C-alpha cells in the first residue's frame, strides 16, 4: 500500500467517523438533558412499559451514592448470571462439542472481564463456549457493560449543567441507552456485517471438502451479532480465539474499515455531547486533545513497519496497525493480528493509549477520565499562577483534587504491583517457559496494563488459564473499573452542590492555550509515571 493510499484510507475512516459523531453526539446530548428525541412518543411508550414492568420510578433523581449503588447492583447481578451460565453451559441447550463447564477461577475471570467491559479472554471462544453461552451470556453482557459506563458518563456530565437536582436515575439512563442507542445501531450493523461477509447462524459448524479430498469441520455461529456490539460497545471479546484476525469476524478490508468506525463512533460522540451541553469551546477543546493524543499514537505506531510475520495478509502492516491502535486507544481490545507481530514502536503506542485511557478512551469512561485530567491541569496551573482552581464558574476543592489524583495513581499501582508479584512467584516464567527478557517482561506488563485499563488485548491468551492469572487479572479488572467509576461519580456529586459564580479561571478552559497545556500535562504525568517501566520493556526489545 502506497503512502497516498494510506492517507486516503485514514482520511476517509476518521473523517467519516467524525462526521457521523456529530449527529450521534447531538442525540446523546438530548438523552442526557431529557430533551425530545426523534420518535420520542414511540420510544417513550416502549420505555415506560419497561419501567412499569420492572418497577422503576422514572421520576426519581439519585445522588451519586445511589447512582453508584444501582450501577454496581445491576452489573453484579448480570455478572452472577454469566458466571452461572459458564459453569453449567454443558447441560444447557445449544451446547457444542468441547463446551464443558468452566472452572471456578476461569468463570470468575470471564465474568469479571465482560462485566467490566474488558473482555480479556483466557479461553478460546469457538472451542470452549456453546452458542447459548455466546449469545445469552457473552453478547448480552456486551450490552450491559457499555450501557453502564455510558450511563455513568451521563450522570457525570449532568453534574456540570444542573445544581441540587441529582445526577439522574441510573435505571432510566441504562434502559434508554440500551434500547434507543446500542440495540438499534447494533441491529443495523449486524445486517451490514452480514452483507459484507460475516456469518450469522445458529449452526455450530459445517463440514467442507478440502482440496485433498478430505473433510474439514468449520466452526461458526451467531458471529455478526456479537461482532457488532463487540466493536460498538468497545467490548473487544471475540467469537473466535484469533479475534478480529479471524476471517469470519473480519473478512476483508471493508469490514476492517467499518469495524474501526464502530470502535470510535461513541467515544468521539461524547465530547460533542459535552460541547452541546456545557459550551462549544470547552467540548471541542477536549475533543481536539483526544484527537491529537490519538494522532500521536497513530504516528508512533506507523513510524516502524510491523510484520510481516504474524500479520494477516488481508490487512498488511498499515491495516493491522490502524485497527489495533484504534481498538486499544478506545480500550476495546480487539486485535486483527498477533501483538507479537507488532513493531516495538507500535507496542509502545498501544501502552500509551492504555496508560492515558482518554485518547479517546472507552465509551463513557474515556470522557470522564479526560475531565479528571482537566481537574489536575487546572490545579497545577492554579499553583503556578497563585489562583484557586476553577472550572465552569465552580471552585475545585481540595477533595476534588485528591479524588482526581487518587484516580490517576490507582492505575499504575494495580498494574505494577501485580506485575512484580507475577515475576517473583514464577508465574510469568511458567507461561513463557524462558528466562526473564525484555519481551517476557513486556508480555506480563501488557497483561496487567490491559486488565487495569479494561482493555482486554493480551499476549498470553488461553495459556493464561491458570488460577494465578485468572484470579489476579480478574481482581485487577474489577478494581480498574469500579473504583475509578465510584470516585468519578463522587467528584460529580461534589460539583452538583457547588455555587456557580462568575470567576476568572486560572486558565481559560477552551482555545489553543488550554489545549496545549492540557495535552502537555496529560502526557507529562503519564511519562513521569510509566516511562521507566517502558524503557526496560518495549524500548529494549
Tell me the three cell numbers of residue 135: 449469545
Is 233 part of a structural domain of the chain?
Answer: no
Strand bridging mode 394-395 / 390-391: antiparallel
Helices assigned H by DSSP within 279-388? 280-302, 316-329, 344-356, 365-385
List the single range of 84-98, 252-266, 385-399 with lowest mean pLDDT: 84-98
Tens of pLDDT, residues 454-507: 999 999 999 999 999 999 999 999 999 999 999 999 999 999 988 877 767 778
Distance CA 343, CA 403 (A): 36
Q: What is the pLDDT of residue 220?
A: 87
Select the more confidently predicted residue: 489 or 100. 489
**Residue among 502, 24, 13 at smallest CA distance from 275:** 24
> 55: alpha, beta or left, given left = phi > 0 and alpha = psi -120 to 50?
left
Tell me the three cell numbers of residue 440: 517476557
Q: How many other C-beta atoms can be found within 10 angstroms of the C-beta atom of residue 211? A: 5
281 and 511 Cβ atoms separated by less than 8 Å: yes
Is 285 part of a structural domain of the chain?
Answer: no
Max Cα–Cα distance, the chain, nearest Å: 80
Helix (H) or strand (E) holding 136: none
Instruction: Please give the full DSSP string across 191-240, using - where no structure is assigned.
Output: HHHHHTT----S--EEEEE-TTS-EEEEE--SHHHHHHHHHHTT----SS
Q: How many other C-beta atoms can be found within 10 angstroms of the C-beta atom of residue 8? A: 12
Burial (CB < 10 A; 0-12, 13-18, 19+), residue 257, is middle
Distance, first Cα to last Cα, the chain: 27
Q: How many other C-beta atoms can be found within 10 angstroms of the C-beta atom of residue 356? A: 27
Highest mean pLDDT among 216-225, 326-335, 429-438, 526-535 belongs to 326-335
Is 269 part of a structural domain of the chain?
Answer: no
Residue 512's domain spans which residues? 364-540
Residue 107 confidence (pLDDT) above 80: yes
Calculate the average pLDDT of the chain: 92
Tell me which residue has cell 470510535: 264
Q: How many other C-beta atoms can be found within 10 angstroms of the C-beta atom of residue 183? A: 14
How many distinct structural domains can be found in the chain?
1
Is 188 part of a structural domain of the chain?
Answer: no
Tell me the three cell numbers of residue 3: 503512502
> Which whole number is the average pLDDT over 87-101?
82
Residue 118 confidence (pLDDT) above 80: yes
Chain centroid, CA 526 distance in Å: 19
Chain centroid, CA 261 distance in Å: 14
For the entire predicted model, the pTM comes to: 0.95
Is 372 part of a structural domain of the chain?
Answer: yes
Residue 52 confidence (pLDDT) above 90: no
Is 503 part of a structural domain of the chain?
Answer: yes
Distance CA 407, CA 491 (A): 11
Is 456 part of a structural domain of the chain?
Answer: yes
Distances (CA, A) of 351 to 225, 446, 457: 29, 7, 11
Q: How confident is the model at residue 243 (pLDDT cuts 50, 70, 90)?
A: very high
Is 329 part of a structural domain of the chain?
Answer: no
Q: How confident is the model at residue 215 (pLDDT cuts 50, 70, 90)?
A: confident
132 and 462 Cβ atoms separated by less than 8 Å: no
Q: How confident is the model at residue 94 (pLDDT cuts 50, 70, 90)?
A: confident
Q: What is the pLDDT of residue 1?
A: 61
Amino acid at each position: 500500500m502506497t503512502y497516498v493510499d494510506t492517507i486516503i484510507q485514514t482520511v476517509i475512516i476518521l473523517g467519516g467517523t467524525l462526521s457521523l459523531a456529530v449527529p450521534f453526539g447531538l442525540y446523546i446530548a438530548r438523552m442526557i438533558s431529557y430533551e425530545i428525541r426523534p420518535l420520542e412518543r414511540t420510544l417513550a411508550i416502549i420505555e415506560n412499559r419497561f419501567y412499569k414492568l420492572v418497577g422503576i420510578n422514572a421520576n426519581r433523581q439519585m445522588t451519586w451514592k445511589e447512582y453508584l449503588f444501582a450501577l454496581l447492583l445491576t452489573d453484579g447481578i448480570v455478572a452472577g448470571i454469566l458466571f452461572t451460565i459458564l459453569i453449567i453451559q454443558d447441560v444447557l441447550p445449544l451446547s457444542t462439542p468441547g463446551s464443558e463447564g468452566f472452572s471456578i477461577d476461569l468463570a470468575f475471570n470471564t465474568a469479571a472481564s465482560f462485566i467490566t467491559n474488558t473482555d480479556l479472554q483466557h479461553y478460546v471462544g469457538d472451542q470452549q463456549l456453546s452458542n447459548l453461552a455466546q449469545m445469552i451470556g457473552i453478547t448480552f453482557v456486551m450490552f450491559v457493560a457499555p450501557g453502564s459506563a455510558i450511563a455513568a458518563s451521563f450522570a457525570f456530565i449532568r453534574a456540570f449543567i444542573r445544581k441540587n437536582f441529582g445526577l439522574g436515575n441510573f435505571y432510566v439512563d441504562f434502559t434508554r441507552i440500551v434500547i434507543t442507542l446500542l440495540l438499534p445501531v447494533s441491529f443495523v450493523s449486524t445486517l451490514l456485517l452480514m452483507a459484507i461477509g460475516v456469518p450469522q447462524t445458529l449452526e455450530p459448524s459445517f463440514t467442507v471438502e478440502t482440496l485433498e479430498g478430505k473433510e474439514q469441520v468449520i466452526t461458526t455461529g451467531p458471529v455478526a451479532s456479537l461482532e457488532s456490539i463487540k466493536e460498538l460497545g468497545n467490548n473487544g471479546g471475540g467469537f473466535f480465539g484469533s479475534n478480529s484476525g479471524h476471517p469470519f469476524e473480519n473478512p476483508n478490508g471493508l469490514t476492517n474499515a467499518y469495524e474501526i468506525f464502530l470502535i470510535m463512533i461513541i467515544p468521539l460522540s461524547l465530547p460533542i455531547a459535552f460541547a452541546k451541553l456545557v459550551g462549544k469551546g470547552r467540548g471541542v477543546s477536549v475533543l481536539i486533545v483526544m484527537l491529537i493524543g490519538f494522532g500521536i499514537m497513530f504516528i508512533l505506531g506507523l513510524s516502524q513497519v510491523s510484520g510481516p510475520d504474524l500479520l494477516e495478509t488481508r490487512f498488511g502492516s498499515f491495516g493491522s496497525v490502524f485497527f489495533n491502535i484504534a481498538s486499544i486507544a478506545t480500550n476495546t481490545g480487539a486485535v486483527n493480528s498477533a501483538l507479537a507481530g507488532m513493531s516495538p514502536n507500535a507496542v509502545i503506542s498501544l501502552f500509551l493509549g492504555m496508560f492515558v485511557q482518554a485518547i479517546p478512551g472507552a465509551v463513557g469512561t474515556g470522557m470522564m477520565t479526560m475531565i479528571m485530567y482537566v481537574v489536575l491541569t487546572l490545579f497545577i496551573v492554579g499553583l503556578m499562577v497563585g489562583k484557586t482552581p476553577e472550572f465552569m464558574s465552580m471552585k475545585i476543592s481540595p477533595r476534588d483534587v485528591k479524588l482526581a489524583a487518587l484516580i490517576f495513581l490507582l492505575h499504575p499501582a494495580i498494574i505494577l504491583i501485580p506485575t512484580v508479584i507475577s515475576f517473583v512467584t514464577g508465574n510469568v516464567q511458567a507461561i513463557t517457559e524462558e528466562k526473564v527478557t525484555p519481551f517476557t517482561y513486556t508480555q506480563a506488563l501488557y497483561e496487567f496494563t490491559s486488565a487495569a485499563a479494561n482493555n482486554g488485548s493480551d499476549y498470553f491468551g488461553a495459556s493464561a488459564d491458570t488460577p494465578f492469572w485468572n484470579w489476579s487479572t480478574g481482581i485487577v479488572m474489577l478494581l480498574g473499573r469500579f473504583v475509578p467509576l465510584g470516585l468519578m461519580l463522587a467528584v460529580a456529586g461534589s460539583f452538583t452542590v457547588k455555587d456557580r459564580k462568575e470567576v476568572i479561571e486560572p486558565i481559560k478552559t477552551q482555545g489553543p492555550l488550554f489545549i496545549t497545556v492540557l495535552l502537555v500535562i496529560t502526557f507529562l504525568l503519564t511519562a513521569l509515571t510509566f516511562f521507566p517501566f517502558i524503557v526496560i520493556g518495549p524500548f529494549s526489545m
